[in-house]
Amino acid sequence: MTNYLGVMIFLVIFLGLIVWTLSAVAADARRRGKSPLLVVLVAVFFFPLGLILWLLFRPKPMDGGNRGFRLNDHRVQ
């Protein structure tokens, strides 16, 4: 009984991480002006190569680029 519960907890956490990762990839694709469905399908069916290729060759964001971290954006006034 204990092993069954441990396996179920592992599967729930594992599936949650998969859903979370795919939603992050879809949001990133949408922000970059690409089809989220197409990018997620490529990332899933050609995993891990599809995900690595998306991370390496993804286009620049539509909002003008990555500003990076700026301390002034996070200071308490």
Question: Domain ranges in the chain?
Answer: 2-60
Q: pLDDT: is 58 or 77 the higher one?
A: 58
Question: pLDDT per residue over 46-71, tens digit each?
Answer: 888 888 888 888 888 777 655 666 77
* Per-residue pLDDT band at 3 (split at 50, 70, 90): confident
Written in H, E and C, the secondary structure of the chain is CHHHHHHHHHHHHHHHHHHHHHHHHHHHHHHCCCCHHHHHHHHHHCCCHHHHHHHHHCCCCCCCCCCCCCHHHCCCC
The pLDDT score that the predictor gives to residue 65 is: 59
